Structure 1
Amino acid sequence: MTKRDTILIVDDVEINRAILRNVFEKEYNILEAENGEQALVFLGQYHGKIATVLLDLVMPVMDGYQVMEEVDKRGFLQEFPVIIITAEDSAQNEVKIFDMGASEIILKPFEPFVVRRRVQNIIELNLRKLNQQELIEEQAAKLRESNAVMIDALSSIIEYRSVETGQHIQRIRMFTKLLLENVAQCYPEFGLDKRKIEIIVSASSMHDIGKIAIPDSILNKPGRLTRDEFEIMKTHAVKGCEMLAGLDRVSDKEYLQYAYNICRYHHERWDGRGYPDGLKGNNIPVCAQVVGVADCYDALTTNRVYKKAIPPQQAFNMILNGECGVFSPKLLECLKNVREKFALLSKEYADGNMHKGEGVGPKQQPAIPEIPEMDTLQMGQMKYFAMLRYAEDTVMELDLTTGLYHLVYLADDSFAPLKNGYSFEDAVRTFACESVHPEDRQTAMRITDKYIQDFFDNGLMKKSERYRVYDKNLGVYFWCRNTLLRADTDNPRRRKILLIWKRESGEELTSSQVERQFYNDVILRSVLICIQKFRYNQWFTLPEVSDGLSELLGYTKAEIREKFDNRFIDLIYMPDREDLRRQIESQLKLGTSLELEYRVVTKDGRRVWILGKGRIITGEDGLEYLYGALLDITKSKQEQEQLRLTLERHKIIMDQTNDIIFEWDILKNQLSYSSNWREKFGYEPIKNDVKKRLRKTSHVHPKDVSELVGFMSELEKGVHYKETELRIADGNGRYRWCRIRATAQFDGTGRPFKAVGVLSDIDKEKRASQELKNKAERDELTGLYNKRTARDKIERYLKRRGERDRSAMFILDVDDFKNINDNYGHMFGDAVLQEISSVLGELFSSRDIISRIGGDEFLIFMRDIKDDREAVLMAERIVKAFSTMFSENVLPFYPSCSVGIVFCPQDGEKFEVLFNNSDIALYDAKSRGKNCFTVYGKSALTNTYGARSRMLNTSTRIDSNDQTNGLDTVLIERVLKIIYDSDGMDEAISDILELTGKEFGVSRAYVFEDSCDGAYCDNTYEWCNEGISVQKEILQHVKYKDLGMAYKSLFNEDSIFYCPDVNLLVKEQRDFFMKQGVKSMLQCAIRDMGVFKGFVGFDDCLVRRLWTQEQISALTFISKLLSVYLLKKRAQDRAESTAADLENILDGQDLWIYAIDSDTYSLEYINAKTHAIVPEAREGMKCYKAYFKRDEPCERCPARRLKANEREPIEIYNPILRVWTLTGASYINWKNKKNILLTCQDITDYKQD
């Protein structure tokens, strides 16, 4: 499922968007639109990434109701929920909104925290729904597959009743699929998409289901059927339909309808001579037509009881020529396209050639090699133009319904004016005025009046007129006939015609006239090399070589005849020959006139560029000739090449930069861009009506639109150079920072008419700059503003505030914070400050300024309050929030705070005054006993939110009274006892995790170990408290790169990662831990020689726990013990694995190999070969006793020699085994001891020889 991580906020008020953006930007990518049209642009492009839309109702351009209507019309409500945020709370409005498909309505003003939870709940429900839909679709696909198996099984039963068919059903499916795909490609009017094709292919299996009702005597009759028998056979189509009609309980009605049509009509024929209903033409469903062709082909190419199979080529010819009944011409064209694939399939899946593993189920289509050939449309077009060229007629297509006309083929330049005109009437008028004899112009113009209307009204198919047309080159008129032909005769509602202009017999140009045409062309005459005649064949043979061509090439006419056999193609530069043929082929589709460019090679090896202008005519001998005027264009080509190289250098420079070049036509208000825009942003940019569309439907961030419009206005006013920075949404819906620099161009009057500029991607540097700025402005621990930044922001507000604007300043101090640090440690104290900052962030809005101004002091500035009471109520909420802040924590810890409040303007209008007065109010609150707030100078409003009295919870899971002075020595002793008493390391580690987890009351204790390359880690040990879900099986191969920022960097210099609240983590980490139900955790790194190897962790899934320094110290110590123990175990594992590998290697050797203790001569290892020779030998026995039956070491013992530093192998005779061996000895580290390895090679045969 596509990751939906984007929220689209649609509101025309910037402050509303800012509030919602601050609520969601940490967890979601945010897109913003300030009107409905821009929202629809974003939805059209990014709907697959949208998690939800937060939509305002009252907006300019297009309001929220109109957006909802369009969203519903486009089907987007099935993909994501739309949440309406509005101030209108009438019941009628709510009903209307929900009727339009909204998922939720949130009323303004709203509580940001509440909005966040409601929106997240709606998003999660929708994602579950989408995931469920995917599962349902997968199950439906499996069900369709199962149905296909049953259909094939049923069809196979029918096949086996008819002994001649074999794999008939399988081939029919394949043939049907191939033919349908080609029909869909060539004739889109049939509306065949991938889904329909799959259904038809599946339903084709049912085409002969009715044969089950045909008697075997007829079905399998070896000879020709009688008339009566054939009538019975024909009933199988109707019988099959009766069976299918009885399946009315089948839920897939579409499939059943296709199966019915195929079964009933696949024997119908195009001319109406088929059965059972005698349908004709397009009345036959296309699915039945295709299956009919496939069935007919398969019947011809396979053995049947009444005939032998015929070759595929013969079968194609019979079908194409109507010997098996007439089929649709369009289908026959498609059949020609797939004939090679049909033949290959019929051979591959011939009867008896059952492929391994195939049964009656749905078959995967075999890979059919692609055969490069023209499709039906290309072939038809090629035939069309070939016919036009040989007919030498000028042809125009005209659609009177739409007014479109198309000059398809220009056979004669005399009719060239027909190309000029905004409409058909205009083109005919131009042609009549420029080319038709004055006396005949009225006749030529008749086709623009009622002439064509009468043609249709009278139901004519053909009508002609004749008039004289002027040949400018010859200076004479010739007679031509203009004929109207009715097109689409099978559809009387269409009004399409062909207009054909043809020179009348006797008016065709002769060779001498063609030559006169070229000589009369003034332009050609000025630069002409020669007039040359070529025979139009594959070599462009020269009947005669002109003097000009001979002079150009440097060859005599005799040399050209003797060396090149007068073949002009051999004089053309080799790389240009194929291109020349393509030029001719392409231009002949438009007429007989040609204009060709190519290079010839002279005798001295120079390459000369030639422009050939000519035309093809038929000579008196009936052959085609190309008459052409040849021009030397080498100089202009060289200039073009220089220009091309310059442009190529420019392109290379552009390709090496990510910058986008743009040009703004100020007068036309149009923008053009370099080609890398789409590659950069993933969509087409705005090009026309730029300034208007930028305001309504651009991808520019709404906050930056006014800046961009102002930028463009400055250039319009004549500013020479301008630059700005803005955000543009890319193809993934992410805003990217870009810098635009533009320079204006001025016309002769000094007015700007164009602007050329560069758009650069500065997203990385901008975000890095913002990150640095953010770090400079923020407190590192809490993420709140620091004192300097808060002061700057407050002072800017105070300078801009209006006379009636009211605000309030709070100074908050945590009571007795020093005791917290002293009793629980600084890490605990830091966690308390982080929790306080989180609570303050939830209480105050994004418009308020919250900062940490000292160790445990906070400054809050509320802007634009309605009255003083609003700030007083907020102070009450702060004090109350402190009282419940750590109520769930396992420690009996209850912080409190004191707050001082001042108001602007009555208590001051300068920052220093307000700060000092709020500090005085804070001092008063402290003097009143703390845990309260004081309003400066307003004794009537002073409120002491009295000291709390509460019963301390004595049943906490961690008692800190005895464990706060250092490590719990009893616990450490118990851990060490487990290590010493355990039989195995795995058991010991599990027991230690259980002991520690229960002692500290955590939810889960675990060990993660890194892979060899450190790219991922595995959960290798885990203990879970009662009621906590096990995660070990799930948490395998966890990739560090999937956890957002560098996870290992979260561990501090003491190798500790302490997180009291997982909500403080980045999204990837937060999601990872929340899936496990984790609320807080403590992890300690496992390091080996300073290298990170994994970590030991402790989770709390019930509360957001604050860990004391003593607890952290104890758990860290235990983690380090586990680390040492675990690293030792892994080293042991590696050693044992190495030893096992070595044993496998030694056991595979064809030598006697054993290892002995270097001091005691006891056997430590015996390989398989030695065991086979001396099966009674056992590890622990003395080697001389086991192999030589001696009571003491051998005199020439190789081990003794090795100790004496004699390493050469020696020959030893064993009288017990009666063998000679060549024995060597070497030291080996075996099972962590220095032993001696002896290798013995049997040389008995050698010694006996």
Structure 2
Amino acid sequence: MDKRKLLIADDSELNRAILANMLEQDYDIIEVTGGEETLAALQTYRGEISALLLDIVMPGMGGFEVLEEMRSRHWLDDVPTIMISAETGNAYIDRAFSLGASDYISRPFAPVVVRHRIINTILLHTKKQQLMDVAEGWFRRQEKNSEVLVSVLCYGMERRVGETGLHMKGVGKLTALLLRQLLRRTDRYRLSADDIEMIAMAARLHDIGKLLVPSEVLKKPTPLTDEEMAQVRQHTRLGVQIVTGLPLYQNETLIKYAVAICRSHHERWRGEGYPDGLVGDAIPIVAQVVSLADSYDALTSERSYKPAYPHEKAMQMIHAGECGSFNPLLLDCLDDISELVRQGVAERNNAQNSEVHRTVEELYGGQDVMAARMTHQIEVASAKQEYFSSLTDELWFEYTVQPSAISLSHGACDQTGLPAVIVDPQSNSDFIDAVGGETVRALRDRLDSLSSDETHIELMADIMLGGRLRRCRITMLVIRALSSAGVGCSRLVGKVDDINDSYARLEEYDRESENEVTEQVLLPVTVGAGDVLRIAHDQVGAVMQCYRKMFAIVRLVDPGICMQVSAGAGVHHIEHSEHCYSVWNKSHRCENCISQEAIRTSKTQSKVETDGGEVYYVLASRVEIDGIPYSLECVNPIRSAAAEAESDESLLGQLLIRNRQVYIDSMTQVFNRRYYDERIRNLTGEQAIAMIDIDNFKHINDTFGHPAGDEALRSVAQTVRFMLRSRDELIRYGGDEFFLLFHGLPEYNLQSKLNQICEAVREIRLPKYPDLHLSISIGGVYAAGRISELIRKADIALYEAKIKRDRAVVFGISDSSAASGNND
């Protein structure tokens, strides 16, 4: 699982290093040196940063200014901010808290105190957000419940009077649109957003009086008689009786709006309406708006006595006065929103589907506000997943426990012939036939025995792929959920790899290797490019037995399927293990799988592994058997049983000394070229790197002598290393050139970091050589790719920097041009 991100903003390299060393085990640290960089980082990592540690005094924009900007952008609600400073005065502390800081920590730092206060701040902020979400969710559910009840009432009433069931909702929506546009045109009416919402809700009750009008009159398809028309017109007064007859809530604003709308929504601007014949502004403005909305929606809706008219004809009829006269200002408002209203009519034609979609979204958002905020991100991620799935033939799946269902990738569907989604797969005969009942039972048993800290499962299974039974490896990620029964598996995301051919070859090697090997065997090895051994399949047993004379354990790894050579009386035996990591008593893959790396890079890899109280040295080389790549693992103990009493600290010290002798440059005490070649050059990903060259180094040797050159190398290396964080790596690449790798440094911070390094080197003074002034040129690159490829771009940037001298030139990921910074 990814660590939470902490943003440390402090212009002091030492202070950042101290905090980073305290916290990097628990958090992913992002470092910035100024206020502007802090805001940029908050914008870049928006939604990912758990807390901000903010220094008060920084060059340019200080900590208090950053707080003010965060408050204006409403970022303090999402990012708890802890001020860090040597200042202990009440004025500083009061101002920090008044601006919205969550805590205030004074230097010098106490590691335990700092860690616990950060954890408590994050937990408190998380609980606060959860409580706010719960409260907001409760209110949204209440609003939704009210909406549902009103919709049911309106729907029942409209069905009784023979309308479509959407008229009242349409009137409410158009009422809200007209009111908002009216407030844009004039400030005469003092209506708030809450008022508009209540008026729109009350507008849906405008025809509630029709409940007391005989339905046969309302549904009559022919013109009404005068007596019948008089009955219909009574619905305005009857509506008021219904609303005012409610024993409760008579003092509520919503009821007052409803009364005005029910009684006056058939009044007209010039007085030709009913029931009171009101004229002009004597008609309540809410009734005027609902009157216009009611007329438009009635014209564009189907009735028992007329078809639905299109938007253009409805607008023409309203302006021509065929529905009576209306307030000219409201007619202008209707014209302003004409296109929006037209779209509303089009949407209403697809009302069934869109209504279901909106209801689901609203209910989902009401129950889990935090999840609703992530809906867009989830939709984007799902779209990406669907797209990339369609581009690959890989077999992957996702299984949910509740409800029990499995979804398959395009490749899995093609290979198995199964549908993309299977509900309750454990009872689906086609699914059982494809994957095998034994596989399902083995997975169920594995899940039942899963410990709380296990997140990965691997199984070997025989699965029907392409109509043939194939040996497969199933790798799964376990996703857990908290329930009343505790933390359990809620979902499995997995991949199926067809290893049938590799497995069959290893079994063949096993059979051929069972014969005794008693005579001396010469290794039939052809050494090619890199550290690759090439042999024929009938020579596997002999080769492994020879290696067994030098190593305690010899294994041929796929990786995933293993053969292990064990000792015997003049013979050797091949033992199968379903998982290569089981030899170390592990339940999941090694984090540092050197066999996989050896196969990928064709370079011999090494590591130290532990098993109980024993420590082992492991070598892995690529071996090709009839052209098919495997890893040959050779293992020897580096601590014997007789030395078990030796302390772990002593052993670790010996390993560190050995590692230092191999990878540390004796002159500069930074990493050497061998470290780059073996550990760095093949790294891939998004990287921030730099090449450093000491300016006029040949001139320094020629003028001041080689001892001065050596001193310059040491001083530059140690100065640069002092400017770095603990996780960054400085390597003497060759001569007076150094290679620099930043881990997790944001792109926007690379240029300023390299500028600081140039400045620091310029300040170096060598007491033995007072006339010697040092400077460096740096070529930096922030890009995605393999280090060995990116270093070429860094060389180009360094070349440009050397031309300008004493510069840091950076090529960024977002453009192809160089951005240079002058350090004068």
Same fold (TM over 0.5): no
Whose radius of gyration is greater, 1 or 2?
A: 1
**TM-score range, shorter-chain basis?**
0.3 to 0.5
TM-score, L = length of structure 1: 0.27
More contact order relative to length (CA 8 Å, sep ≥ 6): 2
